[in-house]
Each structure stands twice: as C-alpha cells, then as structure tokens.
C-alpha cells in the first residue's frame, strides 16, 4: 500500500471504526428511504421501466401471445402446477389453536413455489419451523432489512437479476407480440391476512377509483403511461373475469412487467389493495354510517380536513403502501406479506407470520419458516454496530460496512458469520456537473470529453481498492481504468489549459478553475474516498477539494443544480434500475428531460417549500444516451439486459459522462451462524429479499 493510502487507511479506521454515518455502503433511497409522514394525495410518478417475459404458473396461451419473442416452455409450466397440486400442505405449529381454517384452505389453489434466489446462487434446503429473527435499526419508524424481507411485488425476478420475470402475487401473465397488451392472471383462492379473498376487484378499485380519480390522483404516473414516458397515453384497463385483467398501452412497453417486479423496489400496493377494507373511506362506496365516522377519525388521528375531499386524507391515513410496513398506525391493515407488524414500542417492533401467506417450499411447507421478527430500535449507528458485534442480531445487511470488517471477523466467535456478497450498486461513482455554471468557458471545458478523460486517467483504482475497500473490489472492466497522470496532463494541455503560478491549471479561456466535491457522508466510504479523489486530481494540477455538508443540504443543492461535483452510488449493476447518474453529471439537462419547473426543498426544521428551476437542452450525444436509457423499457427483457445494457456501458466508456472507477464491490452481511438458506453469491440485497426462506438449525 502506498504512503498516501496508508494514511487514508488509518484515517478511515479512526473516523469510522464504530460509527457508520449512514449504516454502510448501501443503495440510494429506494432501499432505505425515510418513510413519508403521510401518504400524498397525489400518486407519485416513478422512474421508468424495463422488460417482459411470459411466466411460470400461467393460464392459457395463444399464438399471438406466444409470438412475443420469449422462449418459454408451456409444458414445463404445466408440470410445475401439477407437481404443486400433489403436495401435502403443512404449516407452522405457531398457528395452532387460533381457530384458523386448515392450511389448504388458507393457501391459493396454486401457491407460489418460492424462487427468490436462482438455483445457481442457492442450494435450497427445506427448513424447519420456528424461531425469532432479531434485527436492529437506529432509524425512526424504519428497518430497511425488514422492509426488504417483507416487500412483495406482483411479479418477481429471481435474485433481482432481471434475467427472467416470474409470477409472484400474480400467477403470471401473457404479452402480445407488439409489446402493448398484457394479460395478468391472479391466484384463485389467494387471501388477505384477514381471510378475505383477493380478486380482480382489488385491482379495479385501485385503478379506476384511485388512479383514474382526478381528485385523488392529480398527476397520472409516468410509469403507467404508454412506453413509460411522461407524455404517453395513460394505460387502458379491462376486467376479464374475477381472476384475469388486461392492461393495454398505445406504444410498445416491453418493460412493464419488470416494472411490476423490481424497478424502484416496487410492491403490490402500486396496483392492488384490499378494496373490502378501503371502500369504507371512499365516498362512492361508504355507507352513511361509515361516512359519519370520518370526522371522528380526523379528531382522533389529527387528519387534516379538506371540505368534500377530506375522504382522501382519511383514506391515505388508513391505506398501507409498501413503504409503510414499519408504520405502527398501519397495524391491522390486511396484507399479503410474510410477516405482519403486530406491536411497536419505543424500543422493539414485532412482526408475526401471516397465516394466509401464499408461498410454499418444494415439500409443501407454507412459508415463512421463521415465526417472528423483532427489530430493536437503538439510539445511533454506534449502538447498531455494538449489538451486531455482540451477536445480538441474526441478520444485518443495511448497517454492515467494509469499514468494520476487522471487527466483524474478530467477533465472529459471538455466533455470527460474515458473508461477502456483491453490492447491487457501484458505491462511489463520480459525477462532474457539466451544467453547473453559466460560464461559457467552464461549459466548454467540462463538456470536452478530453477533460473528463483526463480526470479518469488521474484516478488510481488500485489505491482506492486497497485504501477504502480492503481489496474487496475490482477496477472497472467496461470503462477505461487506465492510470496515467502524464497522459492526463497531456490531454489538458492539448485542450489549451495552462498552469498558473499556483501550479494549478486554468480554464482554456484563462480563468481560474476550481473543482469542489460536496458530499453528505451518505455512507462510511464516501468521505475518505472523496479525499483520495481530490488528491489524485491535485496531483495532475486540478485545484480540487472535498467538502462535507449536511445530507439534507446535499439533496437541496442537487435538486437546485448547485452541486459542481458529487460522489454517490448508482445502480449500474442493475439494468432494471435505469440509473445512470444523470442527476449529478447533467442536472440542468435532466430538468429539461423531465420537463421540471419546480423542485421541493426541505429546510433544517423539516419544512418543505417549492423553488423554480430551469433546464437546458442537452447536446445530441446526451439526447442519444437518454434515448438509449428509455429504450430499456420498450424492448424485450433479453434485448434490454444484453444489447441495450451493453450499449449504455459502451457509451460511458467512450464519453465518460460520469466515472465508475470500481465494480464488484463486496458488501459484508452478518448472519447468525445457525441461520440457513443464506448465500454468499449474487447481490447481498437479493439474499435479503429471500427472508421467507431463512430458517434456524435447531
């Protein structure tokens, strides 16, 4: 290790050995967001979507749907159903004596045969029932690991890889050859956690009475428009029968099923809710007696009144979306999750198994295996790490960090094992904002690919890997990782840049140039990483510096296009996320692309205000890159995950829109040494998603 790296390593340990400011190297906000104080009356617009495939456990096919371009074996699907129907179903002793119907009546006619991790990532062991899974969090009303374990989408993609889309809550789907019409099949006999049956009415109610209700949804979501485009025609919805419905678009939207499976950590609540429960809060269905209660709810729960639209606030108070799994006020809301929140104190949150959960293992055991989850709430991240090191936590992904690897290994004697999986993000990507300044000289310089290439050539990837990641990462293989400071300076001089008396390069127009990286210490590796990057750039004559600011301020400055350079994670390993960092390397271009006129800013007291923003039309090469991102939603899964995905990475290699210096960064994941059906293959968060498969060896 070089002297610079050794110094940084020492600084890293001193600064972060027990204090992980944001809980570890983790994904952007979708995986661990701050839950909103209340659901908005406006259904939020989501990021875009990706691509389909016909599924397992599907109803009849025809020549038109079979011509969709996906190679699916109908015989294999039928055989799966036949095998499932012959299984003897069993459930946990935990549910005995509760007066429940027998397990075969609580499960759908064709239960979901669990496939959360693909076979090449997990050798599945049929488990044993029982036990309590202990988690820990320092966040208020939020446990990210519990959220990921519980969240259930309508469809799924094993290992969150995007290789295939299979049934989940929905049994499956067909797609027309033109990628415009999608027919979805529900699981007959599926029940909500209160025992009521799930039917198409639970989808129709959300679509027709909420999404297409202009009072409730004031801005129809982009992801439900044709092609997944902001200006696309809204989807068309058709009920076929109690267990079948169609969604149709006027433009190809091959990525729609992937959108229902993983994009944005989506849950089934995007399109499905227990209508039998929510109708009491909707003026179209509520009885006079039910309506009379609304005013009392406003007084009891502090719900704002809004004349004839008060029902919207009342309904939102009681409606549980997928992000609300940790909300104590949602206790008792009918759900489809493996575990349901049953109690919440100031220090312990408890979830218990859902007796109507719809998944089974290959031997017919109703999942989950583990009966309860307990999440202990502690004061800060230091206390989180202490409980993990003491062996008082059975599973920890979100709060684990490579920074603490020496401590993890030293304390494995306390009954846990540290697994090393890949992160589902590249954790410290670098974006120089090419639209930060109105200065024409600045723009001409940073928008010159030679300048960006020079900054890349100045980055010593090996130093980063040794100093920050303990060797648990690799230099990028699809974006040029060459380290050549001399070549970097030659490019800058080729552009006409000259050094001033201070030893730093000036802009080609002779103006002084400084480059400031601002960060909010969103993860433990970001601050020391930024410090190393600025040293690399200063070594070639770029007057660079790193500055840590409040995380809320980072968000505000990002939204308002006031960040010159940022280091943060992006989801480059997941083609399904469509996350290519445009928010940091071309913010004004992103504003133009999204046709944004205002952004919401949060002050230190937590109050929100709106600020006007202006966009800037990007050059054609950037537009071409945007179009390539959009096309991920409009082609087949096979084309999106291979051809389009490869083309996007090639564009990053040629244009250095932003820098992805390292890939295959490992994330430690602490698991109880007796916990089974965990894995050190694939993405760590993919293992987290498969929590219903975990079981304790007795």
Q: What is the DSSP string of 223-249?
A: GGBGGG-TTSPBPEEEEEETTEEEEE-
Give the model's pLDDT for residue 606: 64
State the alpha helices, DSSP H only, in 293-380. Answer: 294-301, 310-318
Predicted TM-score (pTM) of this structure: 0.83
Residue 635 DSSP one-character state: S
| Superfamily of domain 424-663, CATH level 4 | Dipeptide-binding Protein; Domain 3 (3.10.105.10)
Give the model's pLDDT for residue 13: 38
Among all chains, which residue has been given the structure tokens 């095998």? 83
Listed as own residue / partner, the contacts of 281-290 with beta carbons closer than 8 Å and 24 or more positions apart are 281/311, 281/314, 281/315, 281/318, 281/319, 282/209, 282/311, 282/315, 283/311, 284/209, 286/311
Residue pair 401/528 in contact by the 8 Å Cβ criterion:
no
Containing 405, the helix (H) or strand (E) segment is: helix 405-410
Greatest alpha-carbon span in the chain: 84
In tens, the pLDDT along 278-288 reads 999 999 999 99
Cα–Cα nearest to 515, from 432, 618, 620, 412: 432
Strands 244-248 and 236-241: antiparallel
Q: Which class for 577: exposed (0-12), middle (13-18), buried (19 or more C-beta within 10 A)?
A: buried
- Both structure tokens of 4: 């610079």
Give the model's pLDDT for residue 688: 97
* Rounded Cα distance, 366 and 127, in Å: 11
Domain ranges of the chain: 424-663
Contacts of 490 (CB under 8 A, 6+ apart): none
* Rounded Cα distance, 176 and 342, in Å: 43
- pLDDT beneath 70: ranges in the chain: 1-80, 604-606
Give the model's pLDDT for residue 83: 76
- Both structure tokens of 418: 């540290």
Give the model's pLDDT for residue 24: 36
Q: Which class for 444: exposed (0-12), middle (13-18), buried (19 or more C-beta within 10 A)?
A: middle
* Phi-psi domain of 558 (left: phi exceeds 0; alpha: psi -120 through 50; beta: other): alpha
- Both structure tokens of 144: 């990210």
* Rounded Cα distance, 228 and 221, in Å: 9
Give the model's pLDDT for residue 26: 35
């Amino acid at each position: 290790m070089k002297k610079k790296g050794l110094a940084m390593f020492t600084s890293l340990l001193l600064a972060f050995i027990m204090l992980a400011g944001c809980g570890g190297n983790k994904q952007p906000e979708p995986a661990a967001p701050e839950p909103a104080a209340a659901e908005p009356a406006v259904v939020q617009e989501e990021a875009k979507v990706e691509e389909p495939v016909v599924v397992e456990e599907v109803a009849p096919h025809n020549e038109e749907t079979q011509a969709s371009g996906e190679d699916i074996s109908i015989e294999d699907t039928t055989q799966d159903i036949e095998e499932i129907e012959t299984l003897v179903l069993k459930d946990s002793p935990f549910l005995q004596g509760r007066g429940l119907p027998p397990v075969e009546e609580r499960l759908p006619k064709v239960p979901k045969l669990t496939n959360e991790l693909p076979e090449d990532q997990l050798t599945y062991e049929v488990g044993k029932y029982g036990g309590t899974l202990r988690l820990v969090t320092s966040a208020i009303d939020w446990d990210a690991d519990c959220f990921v374990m519980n969240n259930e989408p309508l469809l799924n993609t094993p290992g969150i890889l995007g290789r295939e889309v299979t049934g989940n809550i929905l049994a499956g789907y067909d797609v027309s050859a033109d990628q415009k019409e999608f027919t979805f099949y529900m699981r007959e006999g599926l029940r909500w956690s209160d025992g009521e049956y799930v039917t198409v009415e639970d989808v129709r109610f959300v679509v027709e009475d909420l999404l297409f209700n202009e009072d409730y949804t004031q801005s129809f979501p982009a992801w439900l428009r044709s092609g997944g485009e902001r200006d696309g025609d809204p989807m068309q919805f058709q009920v076929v029968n109690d267990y079948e419905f169609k969604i149709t678009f006027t433009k190809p939207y091959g990525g729609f099923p992937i959108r229902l499976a993983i994009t944005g950590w989506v849950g089934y609540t995007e399109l499905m809710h227990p209508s039998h429960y929510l109708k009491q809060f909707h003026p179209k269905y509520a009885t006079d007696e039910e309506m009379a209660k609304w005013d009392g709810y406003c007084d009891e729960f502090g719900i704002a009144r809004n004349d004839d639209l008060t029902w919207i606030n009342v309904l939102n108070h009681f409606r549980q979306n997928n992000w609300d799994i940790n909300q104590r006020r949602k206790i008792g809301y009918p759900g489809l999750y493996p575990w349901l929140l049953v109690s919440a104190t100031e220090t312990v949150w408890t979830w218990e198994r859902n007796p109507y959960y719809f998944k089974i293992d290959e031997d017919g055991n109703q999942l989950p295996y583990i009966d309860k989850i307990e999440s202990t709430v502690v004061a800060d991240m230091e206390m989180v790490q202490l409980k993990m090191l003491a062996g008082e936590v059975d599973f920890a992904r979100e709060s684990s960090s490579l920074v603490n690897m020496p401590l993890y290994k030293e304390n494995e004697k306390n009954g846990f094992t540290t697994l090393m999986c890949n992160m589902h993000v590249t954790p410290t990507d670098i974006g120089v904002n090419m639209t930060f300044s109105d200065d024409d000289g600045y723009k001409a310089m940073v928008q010159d690919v030679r300048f960006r290439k020079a900054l890349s050539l100045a980055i010593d990837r090996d130093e980063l890997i040794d100093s920050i990641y303990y060797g648990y990462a690799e230099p990028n293989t699809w974006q040029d990782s060459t380290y050549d400071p001399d070549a970097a300076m030659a490019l800058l001089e080729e552009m006409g840049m000259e050094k001033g008396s201070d030893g730093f390069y000036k802009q080609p127009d002779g103006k002084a140039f400084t480059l400031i990286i601002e960060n909010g210490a969103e993860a433990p590796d970001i601050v020391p990483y930024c410090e190393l990057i600025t040293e690399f750039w200063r070594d070639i004559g770029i007057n660079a510096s790193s500055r840590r600011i409040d995380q809320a301020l980072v968000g505000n400055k990002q939204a308002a296009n006031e960040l010159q350079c940022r280091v943060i994670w992006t989801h480059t390993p997941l083609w399904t996320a469509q996350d290519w960092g445009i928010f940091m390397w071309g913010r004004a271009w992103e504003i133009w692309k999204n046709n944004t006129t205002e952004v919401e800013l949060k002050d230190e007291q937590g109050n929100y205000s709106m600020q006007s923003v202006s966009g800037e039309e990007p050059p054609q090469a950037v537009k071409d890159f945007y179009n390539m991102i959009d096309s991920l939603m409009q082609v087949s899964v096979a084309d999106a995950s291979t051809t389009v995905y490869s083309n996007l990475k090639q564009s990053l290699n040629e244009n250095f829109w932003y820098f992805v210096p390292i890939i295959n960064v490992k994330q430690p994941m602490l698991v109880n040494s007796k916990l089974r059906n965990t894995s050190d293959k694939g993405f760590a968060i993919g293992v987290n998603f498969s929590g219903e498969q975990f079981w304790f060896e007795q």
